[in-house]
Amino acid sequence: MDFIKWYKHIIESSEEEPPAKVWQEIENELDVDAVWVDIEKNLSGGVRKRMMVMMTAAATVLLIISVGTLLFLNLRDQDFVRGPLYTERFPVSPELLKREPAIQTSLSTALDFPVIREIHPMTEEKDPQPAVHPGPALEDLQSMPYLEYKPVVKERDLPVPDLLFPLTGEEKVSKQTIFSSSGYYAGLSGHLANTWLVNNKTMQGLRPDEFTTSLPSFGYSTGLVAGITTGKRFGIEAEVHLISFKKQNYNEYLHGKYISNSMQFNYFSLSLSGKWYFTDSEKPGRHSALLGTYTGILRNAIQNINGESISLSNDFNSGDFGIIAGYEYHHPVGNSLSIGTGFQARVGLNNIFAGNDLIPDYLNSTRNASLNLKLSVRYNLK
């Protein structure tokens, strides 16, 4: 008998059943695998979602900057080159016409009007609606030449020289209003914020039947603000906060004791927002809505458990970013200063928890959120 053939036969015809635990172990392994596949799918879905949100936020910022820049450039061109907001014709007395070169010089100087396009007799051109001013009789006016010019935009009452007929009260108001369009400003800003660390634990802590209790927490931030108002109703504002404290206080039941717990994060924060003004005029004040994004760089993170502090800087990501929506009101104080107040809702978009030896990042996904009361003082540079 061939030993090898015999050996092969005896092995392959074996009727010994493997123990039941082998299949149970296989099942367990496959179950774990299936669960992991689900988790992985969800995680990759989460990553995709986060990527989408990040890209949306980036696109929003880009859009705000692009639209703002376009508006700014367009309106500046209109104001300074075409001057569509204010083109008037003023009758000039015949005496002045005799001194034509002097008129141009004196008008340019007195009104700060850079463009005096032409001086020609009114009779040579059919003017549909010449301005009506108190003074000379209509037939006199019709025989007069007139000046056509474009003014530089100025946010003040225009000095009307003696050479011209004075403007009516209505005209003064309309010109003053229209002239308050674009400019730059810079100043100081501070936020008092109701801050939240949004994760499963703090959300559960809001439920009355949970041992953990999330408590109202407040932080603050201070820094610089600068902005551009472009055109009548649109503006872009940037804020740089050198310190930005966010806190989350909560009580929890740990090892048989009810302990107080507090986490404090200090960020360097930069925000960029587009502002939409509800009114054209600076006076008596301007209401605006804002929408933008912020990004923060973590300076340090500290946890305080029953008075004992530990650093959490390694457990949290250095970057935080999110979106801002809010409302502001600015009130002028004097010619160049204004003070403002408003509120902002800030919602973080990324998971700031980096994970540690005990908990992977995805099991304790944490986001920053806050409701800020904003105070600012700004100086109008132009």
**Three-state SS at 189:** strand
Q: Which is nearer to another protein, 3 or 84 (CB)?
A: 3
Closest CA to 43 of 365, 322, 359, 321: 365
Q: How far is the CB of 21 from another protein (least distance, A)?
A: 8
Note whether 334 binds another protein by CB under 8 A.
no
Should residue 22 be labelled a site residue for another protein when binding is judged by CB under 8 A? Answer: yes
Does position 39 interact with another protein (CB under 8 A)? The reply is no
Q: Could you tell me the smallest distance in angstroms from the CB atom of residue 41 to another protein?
A: 13
| Coil, strand or helix at 288 | strand
The least CB distance from residue 40 to another protein, in Å, is 14
Contact indicator for 146, 91 with CB cutoff of 8 Å: yes
* Residue 36 binds another protein (CB under 8 A): no
Check residue 11 for interaction with another protein (CB under 8 A). yes
Does residue number 26 form part of the binding site for another protein (CB under 8 A)? yes
| Only segment of 12-20, 171-179, 180-188, 339-347 that touches another protein (CB under 8 A) | 12-20
Min separation Cβ 47 and another protein, Å: 23
**In the complex, least distance from residue 34 CB atom to another protein, rounded to whole angstroms:** 7
Query: In this chain, which stretch among 27-35, 97-105, 347-355, 365-373 interacts with another protein, using CB under 8 A?
Result: 27-35
Of 348, 319, 368, nearest to 202 by C-alpha is 368
Nearest distance from residue 7's CB to another protein, in Å? 5
Q: Is 8 in the site for another protein (CB under 8 A)?
A: yes
Sole binder of another protein in the list 33, 100, 127, 140 (CB under 8 A): 33
Q: Do residues 139 and 107 make contact, with C-beta atoms less than 8 angstroms apart?
A: no
Segment interacting with another protein (CB under 8 A) among 3-11, 147-155, 338-346, 369-377: 3-11
Neighbouring residues of 177: CB distance < 8 A, sequence distance ≥ 6: 280, 281
100 binds another protein (CB under 8 A): no
Contact 231/72 with Cβ under 8 angstroms?
yes
**Secondary structure (3-state) at 209:** coil
Sign of CA dihedral 242, 248, 249, 253: negative
Cβ proximity to another protein: between 1 and 358 the closer is: 1
Q: CA 223 → CA 119, 163, 241, 262, distances in Å?
A: 53, 50, 4, 25
Are 354 and 361 a contacting pair, CB within 8 Å? yes
Q: List the one residue from 7, 258, 276, 278 that touches another protein (CB under 8 A).
A: 7
Q: In the sheet where 88-91 sits, what is the strand order?
A: 88-91, 145-150, 115-121
The whole-angstrom separation of Cα 364 and Cα 203 is: 12
Residues that bind another protein (CB under 8 A): 1, 3-4, 6-8, 10-12, 14-19, 21-23, 25-27, 29-30, 33-34
